[in-house]
Amino acid sequence: MHSGVLVLFLSLAKSCWCAPQQQSCDPADERLGRCTNTDVNGYGERPTCTELNLGYCNDMEYSRTIFPNILGHRSRMEAESGAEYLLLSVIHGLLNGECTPEIRLVGCSVLASPCQNNKMIKPCRSTCEALRKDCIHAFEAIEMAWPYFLDCDRFFASEQEGCFDPLAGMRARQEVAMSSLSPEEPSTIIQFTYTSNTQMYGLLKRTAAKCSHISHVYSIGRSTEGRDLLVIEFSNNPGRHELLEPEIKMVGNMHGNEVLGRQLLIYLAQYLCSEYTLGNQRIQTLINTTRIHLLASMNPDGYELAAAEGHLLNSWTNGRANAQSLDLNRNFPDLTSGFYRNRRSRFYRIDHIPIPDAYWFGKVAPETYAVMKWIRSLPFVQSASLHGGELVVSYPFDFSRHPQEERMFSPTPDEQVFKQLARTYADAHATMSDNDTERCGASFYRNGGIINGALWYSFAGGMSDFNYLHTNCLEITVELGCDKFPSEGELYPEWKRNKEALLSFLESVHRGIKGIVTDENGNGIKGATVGVKGIRKDVTTAEDGDYWRLLNPGTHILTATAKGYSRVSKRVYLPHSMNKAGRVDFVLKKVPVEPDFDDHLFPTVDSWDQFDPYNQFERNSDPDVTEEGIERQEKPWWWNYFSQSGVSPPQWLLRNV
């Protein structure tokens, strides 16, 4: 919401809302001969029903309206140019999402009342009075008077006079949703409406407070405009990592105008809390054995911009980027290029590839910075990033192995595991994997609703590639539908289509193997590697020596080792019927450490530990001009070369920055 628009409305509100002088004639007054509605356009034409064509009102339950309207607007253009219509266009942002869409629907019923047999049908006074009672506090909170055109006595009719309820359709849809719940058992009740950032924070905090024994909220940082990046966690021991309990995350709203994922994660949080409390055995088992992290909005600033327009007028890109106009899914370090350059060297480690120093001299978004620190701070095993614009699940690599090829199959060493992860979500979704060629996402039906990211379209700097090459975490990208900003009426159907897929994906983190790597005294070894023969991507152990390795059924040869310890291999068989991770522990013996020349040529864990070593993020976050008015030094001449090549500049150069 631009401050100028808010000031305009507040200044109008503090004085008064004045109705237009031109008024339509009340039918009762017309019958008594006090006035007439015949002369509408200067030609003596009587008003007739016409198509409803007001952008913010096109989702009303009727399709015909009449002019002049209740306020005296004699045409659609006159109504659209009025202050009343302008207010409806920004009411969501003004009230921080409260009382919407109710305010908009009732306001539209005044601006464009339904028409039948060339007669206007006024909205019901009782609906207006109930709305005012519920929502007057929202206007008072911003020191704004109740809008004059929602004067319940002046512009609304009683049931005896004949009226219609503009909120009846919305209530009917809610009743249908409630009727689908089993009456025999208690069920979770969720309000399927959009939430503003303020409402989202409040709702997540209330959910965590309601289920404090299994949940808590924490912030991983702030957006460009200072909004919290709030995560809600679910675990039987919230707030700490438990030995051998896998950690899984879901991220929504990375692109601010792709809003369905944000809402689904908010609903999922409420569902997990409520169903655990109600005794749902499936949910209790999931939460008691898994640590779940939900970041509903990675880009709350972009959402604010997209929500101000609403679903009817939101463009394909408005609100996509953050407040710095950075696409967050192009803002992560490009580690994939380095992997392609060095993949043929048998000494090159493709797990835990460090962030090139040159990356920090570019424009790093605070949202990206916060998520990178979060990813590094916890031993995540699996992840999903929820997007919109198509109906498909894509998986790494997202960046093509040939820079000139926009669409080229570019698999990771974990191609088969990634395909199984993608299949898990797509197959559990109501329509994503079916072969209906008329549906959204039909272009992917031959692949069953999944695709390798670079084969779809190639881009560098994506979050999924970064997760895979920088950490143990395997992340897929879920495109939830062709409409990036669906109408509010679609939120419940979308929840039904995705609920099983979300739960199945969370449960799938218990696939493959897990275990503990210890020394001969039983102490866990941090940073040990566990590899699988035939898959050139190791995982490293967490703080207490525990690890998780996602694997498909079959026979696998595992090898564990650590610097200063012996190498131990084991053969394991994972049957197709296995529904939880197999336990494979390793005990390593101390051995003398021998110098390794290759450590000087290729990345090591020591270099991985360096995160923004020259504090460039905070420097770049500062204004370009100091308080004394002195311009800050520009980036050195050599910066572009190293930034584009992905190679870290020599230390002596960096020391002189």
CA–CA separation, 332 and 254 (whole Å): 12
CA–CA separation, 385 and 396 (whole Å): 12
Catalytic residue among 245, 479, 494, 507: 479
H-state helical runs in 511-650: 605-608, 616-621, 639-645
Q: Which of 160, 141, 139 is nearest to 150 (CA)?
A: 139
Widest pairwise Cα distance in the chain? 107
Are 550 and 479 in contact by the 8 Å Cβ rule? The answer is no
Q: What single-letter amino acid sits at 464?
A: S
Are 375 and 367 in contact by the 8 Å Cβ rule? The answer is no
CA–CA separation, 127 and 168 (whole Å): 9
* Beta strands at 380-387 and 474-481: parallel, antiparallel or unpaired: parallel
Is 479 tagged catalytic?
A: yes
Are 417 and 284 in contact by the 8 Å Cβ rule? The answer is no
Q: How many CB atoms lie within 10 A of CB 26?
A: 15
Q: Measure the N-to-C terminal CA separation of the chain; round to a whole number of Å.
A: 39
Which parts of 235-278 are beta strand (E)? 247-252
CA–CA separation, 554 and 582 (whole Å): 12
Q: What single-letter amino acid sits at 519?
A: D
CA–CA separation, 53 and 30 (whole Å): 27
Q: Omega before 333 cis (within 30°)?
A: no
Which pair of tokens denotes residue 189? Answer: 């009740």
Q: Which residues are catalytically annotated?
A: 479
